[in-house]
Chains A and B, each alone.
Chain A
Amino acid sequence: MKVATPNVDQSQPVKAPLKPLDIVSKGWSWLFLLVLVIFFSIFGQGFLNVYNFQTIGADMALVLIIALGETFVIISGGIDLSTGFVMGMASVAAALVMSNLGGRAPLPVVVLAGAAAGLGIGLIPGLINGVIIARLRVPSFIVTLGMYGIARGAGFILSGGQPVSININGVGQIGNGYLLYLLPDGRVSFFHLPSDLQGVRPSQIIQLIPFPLIFLVIVVLISAWLLSQTRFGRHTYAVGGSEEASRRAGIPVVRHTILIYMLSALLASLAGVLYTMRFSNGAADVGDPLLLTSIAAVIIGGASLFGGEGTILGTVIGALIIAIIQNGLIFLGINPFWQFIAVGAVIILAVLVDQTKKQLA
């Protein structure tokens, strides 16, 4: 809040001084997140813990990476329902390539080839989505709903209906590794555990900063830069604000729309590759349960389904709120069915706050 408040002040210097209500409405998601963390810390014994926060970060990576791509799509006034199964299809492609190359090529080659296969195949549905939406002017909801089924079927056909397992040690170590390992005897090791671990139990080793979290932060920063600092980002807001006006202003709307759906598919595929690295496995349906959660994160983050509004930071907070609720309720020992109600209520609350904000403005 401390950081955000002066920013709000400066960005609208001509308007009347900030009212307390304004601060609440602008920073409500930050406030809400903070309240959640404090609440769970007090009432959920064991919640406030380095290990727990690290795993929340690593475990939310898949949802958030999909949600980042969805943020661009939603800001441009569209929706992408195919991300979950594009993620699954990419994880299958990555797992197939890795398991076939495993043992026959050095680890970096195996990993990079698998990642390239996953990302490459994921771009195809993105390109098709974009071309049909932008050129043939079919609503994005319908095109991506169709692609939801096509990517699902393609993923199952590629994998033969069964999960594709990879039994290569190094791959799982990358997906589940940490940047820093602190040993009880005071030694520090980067990237991997030292090989001489005589007498040290795994539970005595302190592990810091999981790789998926580092990966996530990099992807978040690149997405934030792309949306807020580049022409690509400005065009995304413009197309979402008014497609017609954008066209008249000389923005290549068709090309831009195609690129947005390709970006969304690329990020979904990236989540698929990350899944493969973390779970040593690829399957067509691994991303499906994340689709609605990722859209919920974007909406809680303040993006408008009518387009033109939304930020990467908002989406990050939205995903954090969902992840913290899901994790925190476990520490409270509350019946897991309440999770659905809690997350559902937050979605409605987010949109209500947004509307109130607009009426006040």
Chain B
Amino acid sequence: MEDTEIGAKSLSRREFLAGTAAVIAGGSLLAACGSTGGSGSTPGATSTNYTFVLIQGVKGDPFYVTMQKGAQEMANKLGVTLLVDGPAQFSATLQAPIVDAYIAKKVDVMIIAATDKQAMIAPLMRANDAGIKVISVDTFIGNGDYANGTVTFPLSYIGSDNVQGGKIAGEALIKAIGNKGGIYIENTIPGISTTDQRQQGCIQAIQATNGAVTLVGSNYDNDSSATASQQVSALLSSSKGAQVGGIFGTNLFSAEGAAQAVKNANKQGQIKIANFDAPQQAITDLNNGAVDLVIAQKPAEMGSTAVQYGVYALTGKTSSIQKRVPTGYVVIDKTNVNDPASQAAIYKS
């Protein structure tokens, strides 16, 4: 033991010294690299070949993929280069370094679904200070009022208000259950602003019925349909189960899990299920009767409008830019699923 200790001590002391020296050497190397890089780079884009980046709230999500498609179509039409990136989780901790990298990459326009309305202010301020045009899609920073609010530097907030969306979902669900009974909310992960706001909106719709419809409860399923299914199964077999007339799933997995549990309990059709967001799977679920309502946002429209606005900003047509563009919702059920408006709202992955 003594031996190991002495060995570790003498080795580590040298390592420490060498390490300190190496850090200093490494630092000066970086500084040297940096200075050559700094003098060699040319400030600003000289050609009209603009580069845009779309930074999604989370990568791989059908909602954002659809937004990307809308943005890409407009980018092709207007002849701008569109880059797309996003964090692995819906998290400001992971999104901020991506923003910083694109500031260093010197893009002309940054279109972003900010993952936190407060935390992303500072990173996006850095982008704005570097001369990059910032446009919010889906979510906002500050209080969302870019005309007179706490944060005014982004050009526009293009998106649908999730509180309003939750309210629309709640109202549609209340109507579907005959304006009486109880509603249960199956939510994803606590602290995610969009899904929390959908829950908040749904609760507002329930409260507006003045007691005709009650909130039976709510739970978080960690964005897993298996967990959602377990939770709803437990709910349905509990004493509260008889009160449930409708379930609002704040995203696909939550609604699908709830639908599975309802099917297992042989209550399909009796208990109505509303699903927020409209990936193809949600429409399949609607067609085979697993869910009853699908609330669709218009991500493709958000993407294309944002790219259009970016080009307006770069070409001096600022008068065409509105600080707030509400994109709205489409409520899809079995009666209107084949309408062109509904079909256009389905997310493509």
Asked whether B191 lies within 8 Å of A203 as measured between CB atoms, the reply is no
Asked whether B14 lies within 8 Å of A11 as measured between CB atoms, the reply is yes
| Segment at the B interface, from A45-53, A127-135, A137-145, A260-268 | A45-53
C-alpha gap A290/B37 in the complex (Å)? 30
Q: Is B210 an interface residue (CB 8 A)?
A: no
Which A residues are CB-close (under 8 A) to B8? Answer: 234, 237-238
Interface residues on B, range: 35 or more
B126 to chain A, nearest CB (A): 7
B122 interface neighbour in A175, A312, A333, Cβ under 8 Å: A175
C-alpha gap A306/B125 in the complex (Å)? 45
Q: Is B196 an interface residue (CB 8 A)?
A: yes
Q: Is A25 an interface residue (CB 8 A)?
A: no
Asked whether A336 lies within 8 Å of B85 as measured between CB atoms, the reply is yes
Asked whether A228 lies within 8 Å of B15 as measured between CB atoms, the reply is yes
Chain A 178-199 per-residue mask, 1 if CB under 8 angstroms from chain B, else 0: 0000000000000000000000
Which A residues are CB-close (under 8 A) to B38? Answer: 49-50
A283 interface neighbour in B25, B88, B122, B191, Cβ under 8 Å: B191
Is chain A's interface secondary structure helix, strand, loop, or mixed overall? helix
Asked whether B83 lies within 8 Å of A289 as measured between CB atoms, the reply is no
| Segment at the B interface, from A106-114, A115-123, A155-163, A350-358 | A155-163
Asked whether B122 lies within 8 Å of A313 as measured between CB atoms, the reply is no
Asked whether B16 lies within 8 Å of A278 as measured between CB atoms, the reply is no
Asked whether B122 lies within 8 Å of A279 as measured between CB atoms, the reply is yes
C-alpha gap A278/B116 in the complex (Å)? 13
Asked whether B37 lies within 8 Å of A49 as measured between CB atoms, the reply is yes
Q: Is B322 an interface residue (CB 8 A)?
A: no
Question: Knowing A50-B35, A275-B93, A286-B93 touch, does A228 contact B196 (C-beta < 8 A)?
Answer: no
Asked whether A289 lies within 8 Å of B18 as measured between CB atoms, the reply is no
B20 to chain A, nearest CB (A): 8
Q: Is B10 an interface residue (CB 8 A)?
A: yes
Question: Knowing A48-B37, A224-B19, A279-B118 touch, does A331 contact B101 (C-beta < 8 A)?
Answer: yes
Interface centre among B101, B116, B120 (most CB of A within 10 A): B101
Q: Is A287 an interface residue (CB 8 A)?
A: yes
Beta-carbon nearest neighbor of A249 in chain B: B1
B216 to chain A, nearest CB (A): 19
Asked whether B5 lies within 8 Å of A37 as measured between CB atoms, the reply is no
A3 interface neighbour in B21, B35, B97, B193, Cβ under 8 Å: B21
